[in-house]
Chains A and B, each alone.
Chain A
């Protein structure tokens, strides 16, 4: 095959495949910055993916599908917020509960409401005027579908909100020192409700990006643990939006290269290639933890004592 074609192919799908990681990991970043570890991302993604697919499949309207994913993600987030903020449950374990719930529930609904694997015509490729016409670069960056653009726009947006707005300041304050934030009149509960629901919505969108924009099918456990990787990416990216982007691209590019190696019949076992980003993540975690400190109140419930 023409080497230039292969390179463009690897890069194009590398950008594409970063999409679900970005939605989910940016959502998780908001939660963790406010002191909440959401381990249920994968479950939220699966339910979001199913909701989006089912609505898009039955109505033929992809936007309604997205809306469904947002609603389902928000509801999961709301439940999680209640459990973590009001009931002060251990976040690491309740998150596993939400994961198991989403995993089982999405399979149950899939079997009851669809029964077989169907496909939808997902979001089409939108070529950005002028930019899309640039040779090489245009094909890679500016001929993608709308969910991909959205994911990449989310990164600077999240950076801006977290670092340049009062809301972001409040979120960070609640994650670093909830007692101080509380004494300054910031409602810790309200901020955490906001970030956890936002995280749920973005996880729902992450799932939708898989089921109605990238793969255009729904299958049981179709995320196969991607949501857990998203949680790791937040640590990997040292709780910063740009760091998360770097991690997401690392995963998506290794995935893309591995897929292309299979297409081209490269005689390296694909399992080894799939394994690499996980090993790399562990190594990066080892190298960064000594330098970067997680938000001080991460996983600690806040009790006003009243």
Chain B
């Protein structure tokens, strides 16, 4: 039983958290003797100042949204997936391989196969830690971090060895990258900008994930496991399987992000040796976007665009006032800290309300249908 006003205030919490982070950022800019107004002005200009800028913002938001959708599913099941970087990489690698092998097939067919390959690669890379958690009780935070490191090495190995561009083999430089994908395999562009079909795919998937989580039995079970695994078990839900499903789907969405990054933006895979060289840090920033979107798939859409804008605008800010774009990375960290810190305040108020409303302990408590409520174990 939540009043409209309470829900409204709760929904605004991330906004306050972001304003606080930007405030700290302004303070840092002052210390660095830069006018914050000018810096943030340049940031806005870079993110939304022209058609191209808006397109770049949206392009940047695509991997954040896809990763964030996966995070919504995992966190709703109380599974903390920080392996999206690795899941993107494996998804990207498998998708790229499709385009390099099936050069004779029509473009639309290759793109569909590639996205499916991305889905599959991410699902495998998320499913392994999922199974390890469900059946061997291995902490998923650790296993997903390990899987990230392993994925980076697989990428480096594949791009230096089996998948290297044959043209690079003849050069002394031997840049670790694959050959360029055929032009026909590129995701169609939506406007005379770099905005590509991947954006539409991501939005469609956001709606699908919403339907999955709140309109299907599977989604109900995933959320039930997240809110109360013990009650779920008594209620006949196979908790272990649902944990695997959640991480598998979470990884699959990150894998699609990897595939779309290749087919929509880079048209090849290239490594600088690190994971962020390929992902641009989307595996971590997607978590920020999902938290900002209150772990709600639809809320994650504007959240991703917002953080996409910050990342794109940061480059403009770097040029205009010589503030390294890393500032935005630091501020993203603060947003995460502020958002999770403000959760206590919200939970306290919820607890107060509950204690007034009922003294009954409801054993078989079902997960709330209110999307703004969050799973107990993750955001307790």
9 closest residue pairs by CB, A with B: A104-B329, A101-B333, A97-B336, A104-B330, A100-B333, A107-B326, A97-B337, A271-B157, A111-B324
A281:B146 contact, CB within 8 angstroms? yes
| Complex-state Cα separation, A264 to B32, whole angstroms | 47
Write the residues of chain A forming the contact surface with B, with a CB cutoff of 8 angstroms. Answer: 37, 39, 43, 83, 87-90, 92-94, 96-105, 107-108, 111-112, 220-221, 224-225, 228-229, 231-232, 235, 269, 271-272, 274-275, 278-279, 281-282, 285-286, 289-290, 301
- Closest Cβ–Cβ distance, residue A157 to chain B (whole Å): 25
| Complex-state Cα separation, A290 to B32, whole angstroms | 51
B141:A94 contact, CB within 8 angstroms? no
B330:A289 contact, CB within 8 angstroms? no
Asked, given contacts A100-B288, A278-B150, whether A232 binds B145 with beta carbons under 8 Å apart, the answer is: yes
Residue in B closest to A105 when the chains form the complex, CB atoms: B330
Residue in A closest to B157 when the chains form the complex, CB atoms: A271
> A90-B378, A92-B80, A92-B82 given. 20 additional CB < 8 A pairs?
A89-B340, A93-B340, A94-B336, A94-B340, A99-B284, A101-B333, A101-B337, A103-B326, A104-B333, A111-B326, A225-B145, A231-B142, A271-B154, A271-B157, A272-B153, A275-B149, A279-B150, A282-B138, A286-B132, A301-B380
Report chain B residues within 8 Å CB of A100: 284-285, 288, 329-330, 332-333, 336
Q: Taking the complex as formed, is B368 at the interface, i.e. its CB lies under 8 A from any CB of chain A? A: no
Write the residues of chain B forming the contact surface with A, with a CB cutoff of 8 angstroms. Answer: 32, 80, 82, 132, 136-139, 141-143, 145-150, 153-154, 156-157, 160-161, 274, 276, 284-285, 287-288, 291, 323-324, 326-337, 340-341, 343-344, 378-380
B132:A290 contact, CB within 8 angstroms? no
| Complex-state Cα separation, A271 to B160, whole angstroms | 10
A83:B326 contact, CB within 8 angstroms? no
Report chain B residues within 8 Å CB of A92: 80, 82, 141
A282:B132 contact, CB within 8 angstroms? yes
Asked, given contacts A107-B326, A108-B330, whether A285 binds B343 with beta carbons under 8 Å apart, the answer is: no
| Complex-state Cα separation, A271 to B335, whole angstroms | 35
A104:B146 contact, CB within 8 angstroms? no
